[in-house]
A and B are shown apart, each in its own frame.
Chain A
Amino acid sequence: MLVLDDAQRAMLSGADGAARALELVVAYGEAVGAEALIPISGAHIDGCLHHGDVSLDFVRQFVDLGAKVRVPTTLNVGSVDLIHPGRVRPGAQTADGRALMQAHVALGCTASFTCAPYQLAAHRPAKGAQVAWGESNAIVFANSVLGARTERYGDFIDLACALCGFAPAYGLHLTEKRRASLLIEVRSGSLDAGVAAVAAGLALGREAGGRVAALTGLPEAIPEDDLKALGAAAASTGAVALFHVIGRTPEAATMDEAFHGRPPAETLIFDEARLRAELAILSQAADGAKLSAVSLGTPHFSLSEFGRLMPLIEGRRASVPFTINTARAFLPQLEARGWASALDAFGATLVADTCVYLAPVLEDLTGAVMTNSGKMALYAPANIGCTIAFGSLAECVASAGAGRVVRL
C-alpha cells in the first residue's frame, strides 16, 4: 500500500501539471508495489520519439498547464537533427518530431538531445543520487558506472517523475535490490578490448535475466567508453539495468561489497569462444563484403572516443559515407580542437540530436553498414533495413577507406 506524505497529498490535490504528473507516478507506484515515493534530484527523458499522436498530446497538456520540471532534466535523442537541418531526410513525421522535441524544452528540460547524458559533466548524478532516467543504455550506465539509483523508466512516467519531483521507492532505488547475485568471469583472450566489452555485454544480457551480475576479468582500468558499450549491449539483449565490475564500479570495490557479504548464487564463465560466438551472430556481412556506410556513436560518441579516432583517420579518406552520432554539446569542442576540420577532411559526417539507427540519414543501404556498436548492430537491421558488419574502431576506419569489410 502506497502511503503519501503531507507534501505529496497537497500536490496531488492541486489542479496543475504537477498534480497530473503525480497522479501518474502514484498509479505506477501502486502497480509496482512501492510503499512510498522518494524525492529525486534529476531526470533523463526518453520521450522525444514519436509513437503516435498521444506522444505529443501528452507533453502538450503539461505545456498548456504551464508546468515545469522540478529537477534538472536532460532529454534523449529525437527524430530530427535540429543542429544540421536536412541531415535527416524529411518525412511524414518530421514536423511532429520537431514539435515533440520543442515541447519538452518548453517544460524546462535541457536541450541535450543525447542518449549519453552521463558524458555531460553538469548532468552526471553522484553516487547514491536518486534519479528517474529513461533509455536503456542511460539507465544501465547511471546505475552501474555512476552508482546513481534509477529504475527502468520509460514512456510518460520518466517525464511525470521530473514534473512532480518524485519516484516510487522500489527496485533499484533500494539498497538491497542492488546486490549482485551472479558472478561472471570474463576471459577475452586475444580479442580487441573494445570488441570484448561489446561481446561480454551481449552475453550478459542473455544470461542475467532479472539478476544483478558482477563481472571480473575485464581490464583493470576499463574506460568508461567500453563500459558504455558493454551496458548498451547488455540492455539490448536483456533487461539489464545494473551490473557491477569488481574493483572498478562504485558499489563493487570488493567482491564482498558487490555481493553484500553473501556468496554468489551462481558463477558463469564467458571465455573467448563464447564471446566470439556472440560476435559471429552480430555480423551479417562476410569479410570483404561491399560496404554502403560506416556508423559510429550508438550510444553517442564521447570526446574521448573522438580522441581515439583522430590518430586512426590521419592521412586517410573514407570512400563510403561515414557518420558519427554525438551530442550537440560536443560540437564546439570538436571545432576548438581542430578535430571537426580533420573529420571533414576524412569524410566523416557528424549527426547530432538523433541517431542513424532511428532516423533516415543513410541513403544507400544496398551494401552493409559497419559499426563498432553492439546496440546499433542489434537494432539497425529491423529499424532501418540494413545488413550489419561489426568490427573494432580500427577495422571500421580501415573498412571505410577500402569500401569493403576489412579485418585487422
Chain B
Amino acid sequence: MRFLVPGPVDGERLVLTAPISFWGGVSPVTGCIIDPRHPQCGAALKGRVLMLPAAKGSSSGSSVLAETLRNGTGPIAIILGEPDAILATGALVARQLYGIICAVAVAEGDAFLALAQASGR
C-alpha cells in the first residue's frame, strides 16, 4: 500500500462496490451515504475503514470529507483502489486544522481486491 496521508488503517472495513462523490453522496452531518443510486446507500462511514474502488465528482468532496471528520462522523481511514487527490486533500486539511488522523492509502489492482475479499465482500 502507498500512503497519500499516513496513519493506521486497521479497523472494521466498509467496502463500497461503486465509486462515490463525497459532495452530494455523503452527508457531512450524519456521515452516511445519501446518494440513492449508490449500492451502499445508507451505510455509515463513522469509525470504519472505508474501502473505495474510486472516488469521483466535484472538488467540493474535499470539504465534505473534512467536515465529516470535524463532526466525528467520518471514516477512520480510507483505502482507495486508485489515487484520488480530492480525498487526500480533505484528510490532510482535517489533520492540519483539527489534528484528526484519517489515513488515505492506495492499494492498486489485485491488492485492493485481496483486501476487499479479506473483509468478507
Q: Please give the residue numbers on chain A whose beta carbons come within 8 Å of chain B beta carbons, in ascending order.
A: 20, 23-24, 27-28, 30-33, 51-55, 57-58, 61, 134, 152-157
Contacts and interface: CB of A to CB of B under 8 A. Distances in A.
B67 A28 contact: no
B89 A28 contact: yes
B32 to A, nearest CB: 16
B83 A33 contact: yes
Contacts of A53: 67, 70
Contact of A156 (B58, B63, B84): B63
B97 to A, nearest CB: 5
A54 B97 contact: yes
Given A30-B4, A33-B83, A20 B96 contact: yes
A27 B4 contact: yes
B88 interface: yes
Contacts, number: 81
28 contacts: A20-B96, A24-B96, A27-B92, A28-B89, A31-B84, A31-B88, A31-B89, A51-B60, A51-B63, A51-B67, A52-B63, A52-B64, A53-B70, A54-B93, A54-B97, A57-B70, A57-B97, A58-B93, A58-B97, A134-B59, A153-B59, A154-B62, A154-B86, A155-B86, A155-B89, A155-B90, A156-B63, A156-B89
B81 interface: no
Contact of A61 (B62, B67, B92, B97): B97
Interface of B: 4-5, 28, 58-64, 66-67, 70, 83-86, 88-90, 92-94, 96-98
A274 B24 CA distance: 30
Given A31-B85, A58-B97, A154 B4 contact: no
Contacts of B67: 51-54
A55 B85 contact: no
| Residue among A32, A33, A152 with max Cβ neighbours from chain B (10 Å) | A32
B58 to A, nearest CB: 7
B35 to A, nearest CB: 14
Given A20-B96, A27-B88, A61-B97, 6 more contacts: A23-B92, A54-B93, A57-B98, A58-B93, A154-B60, A157-B62
Q: Which of A24, A32, A154 has the largest number of chain B CB atoms within 10 A?
A: A154
A28 B85 contact: yes
A28 B63 contact: no
A202 to B, nearest CB: 19
B93 A24 contact: yes
